[in-house]
Amino acid sequence: MRAAHKLYCTTAIVAWLCICAATRSFRALGAPTPSDTLMPKHNFHAGPLKEPVDSILVVKRFRHMYVFNHNKLLKVYKIALGEQPVGPKHFKDDRKTPEGIYHIIGRNPYSEAHKSLRIDYPNDQDRQYAKSMGRPTGGDIMIHGLLNGEEDNADAYTDTDWTWGCIAVNNKEIDELYDHVIIGAPINILP
């Protein structure tokens, strides 16, 4: 019990440090920034979203996605990442999830997965790096639900990274996000 409490406290401190690091980047964009009063103290799915989501923070190492409205934490989601989750996405087919500041640029109700929100990867920096290495960047990075036809196997997708670089939630969660995320909202994806 004591070891579990210590692990919880350590995790909370590291999460807070990651959020603090994101604050400077979000401020540079003029986007809302999380404060220490916003750390999650409840379970992930305390209730449905009732307000628009105007910014998103992803902490890859914890597999958590935090959604905000005017600096107020609305909800925390457990997520799945690309099959190669460590490190930023650089190239097509590397199966990594990007790291950095991007934006939500569109909705797709007819995607290969149950609805999706498009992330504007690659940005200019991503393209320049890939070009310098003589490789393509890839694209089609989304926040999405389960792959169509896989709904009956939802339990198989829990606690595993299975995407090709996207951020995945369950179908009920993507329905909620699809209806509440504002197009243009910044998404800061931390390691």
Question: What CATH number does the domain containing 143 carry?
Answer: 2.40.440.10
Three-class DSSP labels, 164-183: CCCEECCHHHHHHHHHHECC
Note the pTM of the prediction, 2 decimals.
Answer: 0.76
- The low-confidence residues of the chain, meaning pLDDT below 50, are 1-18, 25, 32-42
15: left (phi over 0), alpha (psi -120 to 50) or beta: alpha
Confidence at residue 157, expressed as pLDDT on a 0 to 100 scale: 75
3-state helix, strand, coil split of the chain in percent (to 5) is 30, 25, 45
Confidence at residue 46, expressed as pLDDT on a 0 to 100 scale: 66
Confidence at residue 153, expressed as pLDDT on a 0 to 100 scale: 73
Query: How far is 106 from 138, CA to CA, in rounded Å?
Result: 17
Q: What is the CA radius of gyration of the chain?
A: 16
Domains in the chain, number: 1
Confidence at residue 107, expressed as pLDDT on a 0 to 100 scale: 97
Residue 129's domain spans which residues? 2-190
